[in-house]
Structure 1
Amino acid sequence: MMEVMQMWSQIRDGLHAFETSKKFGKVIFWETVVASAIIGFYTESLWGGVISFLGILIAWFLPFIGTAMMIGISGTYSWLAFQILDGFHVHGAICFLVAAMVFLTSFGSHVMTAGGE
C-alpha cells in the first residue's frame, strides 16, 4: 500500500514540475523574441532577427552557452531591480537584497526550464 501512495506522490510532483516548467518556458520564449527583435532592429534586417531567434532558442539548451545566457539574463533583471529601487532612494542594503532575490529566482526558473550544466 505504501508503494502505491509513493507512486501517486511522485506522479503528482512530476505533474506539478511539468506545469511550472511550461509557465517558465513562456518566459524564455518571450525573452528570445525580445532579444531577436532587438538584434533584428539593430542590424536593420528581418533575416537577422529570424536567424537570431532560432540561434538563441537553440543556444538556451546548450550546456555552457545556455548557462552563460541564464546568468546574463538573470543579472540584467537583478541590475534593473537594483537601479529602480536606487532611483527611489531606497537604502543600498535593501536594493542589494531585492536584486539578489530577483537574480536567484530568475536563475532558478531558467535552470528549471532550460536545464543547465
Structure 2
Amino acid sequence: MPIDEEGLRRALRGRKSQGKGPGAARAAAVLVGIEPARGVWLTRRSEHLVHHAGQVALPGGTVDPSDASPEAAALREAEEEIGLDPQSVELLGRLDDFATGTGFHITPVTALIRGT
C-alpha cells in the first residue's frame, strides 16, 4: 500500500510530542524511518549485545550531551547502526515520548527516507 507522504507531513507538521511516564532516567531517541515504496525501517539487534539482544527495533539510542536535539540523536544513531546518510532524510516530526521499564525516556522521531 502506497504511503501518503503529504498526509504524513500534514499530520506531523508542528505537532508537539506529549511526554509519558515521569521518572525515566536516560533520554533516548529512535528514528521511525519511512521509505515510501517499502514501509518503516526496522533493525534486528545482535544476539551478542548485553541489552535487548535479538530484538527487532527501530534504530536509535541514548541522547548524548553533544546531540543538539532528539532528532540529532536519532539521525546519529541511525547513521552509526545502519549507515543511513542523514542527507537522505526528511524529518517530519515527533510522536509521543514514552518511558520504558528499563529506565529510558524515548522520543520517536519520524522521517521520510529517500534515495537509499
Q: Which of the two has greater helix per residue?
A: 1
Q: Same fold (TM over 0.5)?
A: no
* TM-score of the aligned structures, taking structure 2 as reference length: 0.29
Q: Greater relative contact order: 1 or 2 (C-alpha under 8 angstroms, separation 6 or more)?
A: 2
Identify, as 1 or 2, the structure richer in strand.
2
Bigger radius of gyration among the two? 1
